[in-house]
Amino acid sequence: LHHVLIHLSDEARETLQLDKIELQLLEAIRLSEQTDADVKSVWRTGDAEGEVAEPDRKVIQAALTKQKLEEKTQCILNECIQHHQAILRFVKKLEAFLRPVMLLQLFVSMIAFCVIGLQMSMIQIHTDATKFVKFLVSLVSAIIEQGMFYWFGGEMLEESLKMVNAAYFCEWYTASSKFKKSLNILMERAKRPVTVTVGSFSTLNLENFTKVVQSSYHYFTLLKAVHDENAYNPE
C-alpha cells in the first residue's frame, strides 16, 4: 500500500501506456462529436478579421491525456482507500479477538518466566548441566513465543504511521481538487496508529515487551527471595 501511494502517478502513467489504443479511440470519438462550442478554447486564432483555423490536434490530445491521467490516478487512489479501510476493519476484528487472549497469554508467560528462572537458579550447573540447558531452552522458547506477538504488533504500528508520509509523497500538488480532498481524508485517518492491545491497556510493541521482561525479572527476584527465606527458615 505504501509503494502504490508513493508511486501513484507512475502507476497511472503505466496504465495509460497499456490503454494507448483505448485512448486513441476515445480521442477519435470526441473529435467526431465535438461541436464548435466545445472546441472553442483549443482553436487557434486566425487573422484580425476573426478567421479560425482547424483545431490543434496536439492540444486536444494533450488535454485528453491529462484528463485520462487524472481519472486513472483518482481510480487508483480510491482503490488505496478501500485497501486501507479493509486493513482497518481486519485489525478491529483482530483486536476484539486477541484482547482477552493476549491478556491471558501475558499472565501465563510471566508466570512461566518466573518459575523457569527459579528452577534454573536452584540447579548446580557443574553437576547437572543437561537439566540446566533444558530449562534454558524452555525459557528462551517462552520469551520468543511471547516476543513474536509484540514484534509483529510493533511492525504493524510502524507501518501504519508510515501511511501519512507515503500519501504526502504521491505528487498531490499536480492533482485535481477532488484528488486532494480524497487524499486528505486518507491522511487524516492514517494519523491514528493501528494497534493491537493486551486487554486494552498495553499496546503490542517491543518497548512494552521490554517492560514485560523487566517486570518478570522483578517478580522472579521477589519469588527467589521468598524461596531462599523459606529454605533458611523451614519453620
- pLDDT for the residue 56: 61
Q: How far is CA 68 from CA 22, 55, 62, in A?
A: 10, 20, 10
What is the reported pTM?
Answer: 0.69
Top mean pLDDT of 6-15, 34-43, 162-171, 217-226 is at: 162-171
Residue 227: CA atoms inside 13 Å, Cβ hemisphere, count? 13
3-state helix, strand, coil in the chain (%, to 5): 75, 5, 20
- pLDDT for the residue 49: 42
- Residue range 176-193: average pLDDT? 87
- For residue 136, give every residue at least 6 positions away whose Cβ sits within 8 Å of its Cβ, in sequence order, or none: 120
- pLDDT for the residue 44: 46
The 3-state DSSP class for residue 52 equals strand
Q: Could you read off the pLDDT of 58-101 as tens digits, one per residue? A: 677 667 777 778 888 888 888 888 998 998 999 889 888 888 88
Q: Which residues pair with 198 in a beta bridge?
A: 202
Q: Which residues of 58-87 are buried (b: 16+ CB within 10 A; e: fewer)?
A: eebeeebeeebbbebbbebbeebeeebeeb
- For residue 94, give every residue at least 6 positions away whose Cβ sits within 8 Å of its Cβ, in sequence order, or none: 196
* Cβ(105)–Cβ(204) below 8 Å: no
The interaxial angle of helices 57-121 and 206-232, nearest 10 deg, is: 0
pLDDT band at 46 (very low <50, low <70, confident <90, very high): very low
- The more confidently predicted of residues 27 and 49 is 27
- pLDDT for the residue 109: 86
pLDDT band at 54 (very low <50, low <70, confident <90, very high): very low
Share of the chain above pLDDT 70, in %: 77
Share of the chain above pLDDT 90, in %: 2
Q: Could you read off the pLDDT of 150-160 as tens digits, one per residue? A: 999 888 888 88
Total structural domains in the chain?
1
- pLDDT for the residue 21: 56
- pLDDT for the residue 52: 41
Domain span including residue 72: 1-232
- pLDDT for the residue 51: 45
* Cβ(13)–Cβ(69) below 8 Å: yes
- Residue range 33-40: average pLDDT? 49
